């Protein structure tokens, strides 16, 4: 029984899994920011090209 209690205490103190989850969340937020930024740039660039195409026609 003591072995089980010691194993449970060691599991609670172990922070390796928490660190991996935090890194995963940070990577997800960075990827989301890149996607949002690329979408905004793409939309603005498309508007500029349409404006130029309209002036040429």
pLDDT digits (tens, 9 = 90+) for 3-27: 888 888 887 777 777 778 889 999 9
Whether the predicted model's global pTM rises above the 0.85 cut: no
Distances (CA, A) of 24 to 2, 9, 27, 45, 46: 35, 25, 5, 31, 33
In the numeric block, the tokens 């940070």 are attached to 26
Distance CA 41, CA 33 (A): 12
Given a cut of 90, is residue 28 above it in pLDDT? yes
pLDDT digits (tens, 9 = 90+) for 35-53: 999 999 999 999 999 999 9
């Amino acid at each position: 029984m003591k072995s089980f209690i010691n194993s449970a205490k060691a599991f609670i103190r172990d922070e390796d899994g928490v660190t991996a989850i935090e890194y995963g969340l940070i990577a997800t937020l960075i990827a989301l920011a890149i996607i949002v930024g690329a979408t905004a740039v793409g939309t603005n660039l498309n508007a500029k090209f349409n404006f130029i195409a309209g002036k040429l026609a």
